[in-house]
Structure 1
């Protein structure tokens, strides 16, 4: 199971790299909303880190559903402040790579350090040979895993942790249902919930059910054949990655005192949940909540430690060379991948 030049003098320390001498790098860019067909490769200028940033030579990056949403500009909330053209020309929040330069105020890292992190709060840019990132969003890479495995961790794993542990308030012995359990978030969520004593039900398509059981799910359901909200079974916690059931149906599947945590789904479902949440919480003592993602080094360290202890592993369905990164987006859009899609930037174009 296997499961991101000419620099200002004295601004930072820098390791050697022939690419830096040319001041340009390969990047996958887009200038208009669409699907994978609008993605193209272009030579762009290697970024220069600010005082609180490091420059990373990217070894691998992964594709998240948020990348797919930004590429398409859907739902419309992804176009706020960027109606006509994308805010970020280079997608990619999850990165794993090696620090080759540090800004003057950087304290935690030095040239040569291997790191991973989520750049969604500081400019994206992972689909490129180099990227700058604030040191606060980076975590030392676990030595026992590859850059490819590390790139699968940041966004999905932190979402799973914040949904299960923080918003969901998981306690040992509780029953947990994960809707959309076969993707990146779900595969991390199963492992974390089982590690903390939960009885887990995973919901996804039939071709992913065996994998869910391998990860430790106690029960699995094929959403194409069975509606988990209509079975009469109730759960202490529902973690919803896909948002394909109405809030009125979902509350039937929650025990009194239970919590429903929505991580992803259509904007119409999100708005519906926000509208109904106060009424359901007051009348039925069931909490309907929307997770607000907060990328941070502290939560990434939780996963780093679990991986170093051998207790969890990222699930990777496919690894793509950089030249086939657009295919990774197509596969994510079809929703058939088990776990994560990871792109190896260091492989030859």
Structure 2
């Protein structure tokens, strides 16, 4: 009797071991993240922004906050393209800006002003950070002059740097400035069978993606040649009405909210300065916005977040993304968050 019991117990243990091993083997892998570190020339600061701004002002500089996250591929690309020594505009940045590295999940204390002290994570929550990197540039009165969500190419980033360095923020918005100075010859608009020619967007009650492009777009070739050719992206976009607008166009259109305007005026009104910028609507309300470089996985999940009405359950895309990644990985699906596809 005892031998039979022990034999049964061993069988159960073996079965559980095999089951656990199989489950572990079936779990998907998350790849594509990349390690990065802050360049050595970034300012070493006690993160008292009032003092940092005053010190920068003495040299007629501005304080720039580079807000990052561990293993963020967009952060690595931004650092490599713009901040590492030898990058095209690195010396210009170093000469005109005191750059501070901030980890949006970090625990260091930031003295924002005399009335507000927060940890790095609390500060990121306070600013409602949705993308990494996020670039915050402060004016010389310790107020936010510029906020950039996500990666910017060296060509586009230099225009923003000039805007701040020359204190043009005193005279106009960044969107107005870029409209005046940006080079509109980088890109020629491409067609795509997914794009619908719709002038009255208020009639589209379901999920709607409105893409803004123009000749200044340094990321549009990648967007068309890689992102829009990804099968998972195409699958998600098949559930959405997709409209592409030339952001320089003065042709009359009607917004999803029912306002008569032009693509040119609409982009300026909502201060959409990134190309390709994407407004995501459902039930005639803007539910999310893509105003930064997103690789295919994050792009298609942003579309799903809106088309599937997951904004009803999750306040932000980041709130949605964590559980969604876990769901896919537990199904044995591999996730690549890099630019490979």
TM-score (norm 2): 0.30
- Give 1 or 2: higher helix fraction: 2
- Give 1 or 2: higher strand fraction: 1
- The structure whose Rg is larger is 2
